[in-house]
Structure 1
Amino acid sequence: MSNQEKFSTNNAPKPVGLYPHARRAGNLLFLSGVGPRTAGSDATDSHVPGLELDKNGNFIKFDFEAQCRQVFDNVRAILEASGSSWNELIDVQVFLVNMKRDFHTYNKIYAEYFKENQPCRTTVEISSLPTPIAIELKCIATID
């Protein structure tokens, strides 16, 4: 196995640019930013759980908890397709587009998913993401 192997999977949303889902460097696995779009969707045909927009891009339905759960499922799918696992996560960077509205919900759901493994974590608010999502994760895990 190459020390600089790249990984992509159909079990996660397609990247919105020219980059892999993950890349290995030594015994570390670096995940590209992962959002809550459903597996196989891309930026032009995106399905985000809990999100419905009108033709002008305004919210009809917004369920941040559904986005949190989907982003965690997407991270897990990428980790497993790359030969790592959820318990191998060592660092999670969280990008939220609305800290005041969403942080409490995110923190609650995060605690459900990370009872056993407790990676380092940084949470920041940003003004927007490249698709109509409210959360994105950037993760580092170990890999054998």
Structure 2
Amino acid sequence: MKKEVIFTEEAPKAIGTYSQAVRAGDTVYLSGQIPLDPATMELAGDDMETQIKQVFDNLSAVAKAAGGSLADVVKLNIFLTDLVHFPMVNQLMAEYFSEPYPARAAVGVAALPRGVGVEMEAVMVLG
């Protein structure tokens, strides 16, 4: 099966040895996105709401570059350094996704890249 690397300037550039997403057949694996502004590569906002929205915007941009949208996401993994923010993730997720919602996991972690409080990755199926 042929793999296709997905890249867009509308999402932060990879800050390591990975691609923003990789398409294999009809499945697209979106790498973890943190709340970086793609134009500046700096943290977006000082508050968690702004940062969560930026992560959803970044995932949306990569999904679009792959030929899909967040509506095509079948699995979403959420990583939070403080699970107190989980209700806010749920609230904001309703602004970006509609039913049927993707399968999802939310995991509390000790730390994330660049000291951010949230990271999300997704699996999308096209076609």
TM-score (ref. length: structure 1): 0.82
Deviations 1:11-46 (A, max 9, x none): 1011110211000112100011111101144xxxx4
The residue type paired with residue 22 of structure 1 is: A
Aligned with residue 50 of structure 1, among 45, 48, 62: 45
Q: Which has the higher helix share?
A: 2
Between the aligned residues of both structures, percent identity stands at 34
Q: Distance in 1 between matches of 2:108 and 2:29?
A: 21
2:93 counterpart of 1:94: no
Q: Mind listing any 5+ residue stretches in structure 1 that lack a counterpart?
A: 52-62
User: Contact conserved, 1:29 with 1:142, CA < 8 A, in 2?
Assistant: yes
What are the ranges of 5 or more consecutive residues in structure 2 without an aligned counterpart? Answer: none
RMSD, aligned CA:
1.5
Larger radius of gyration: 1
**Letter aligned with residue 120 of structure 1:** A
Q: By how many angstroms is 1:143 displaced?
A: 2.2
Report deviation, 1:133.
Answer: 1.3
Quick check: 1:77 aligned with 2:77? no
Shift of 1:111: 2.1
Q: Distance in 2 between matches of 1:4 and 1:95?
A: 26
Q: Give the TM-score of the pair, scaled to structure 2.
A: 0.92
Contact 2:75/2:123 (<8 A) preserved: yes
Q: Secondary structure at the match of 1:131?
A: helix
**Post-superposition CA distance 1:42-99 (Å, at most 9, x none):** xxxx422222xxxxxxxxxxx1000111111000000001112111100000000111
2:116 to 133, 137, 141: 133
- The residue number in structure 2 matching 1:59 is none
The code of the aligned residue for 2:55 comes to: V
Report the residue type matching 2:73 in the other structure.
L
Deviation, 1:114, is 1.7
The structure 1 segments of at least 4 consecutive aligned residues displaced by more than 6 Å after TM superposition are none
CA distance in 1, matches of 2:11, 2:76: 18
Residue 8 of structure 1 and its aligned partner are, at CA, apart by 1.2
Task: Report the number of matched residues.
Answer: 127
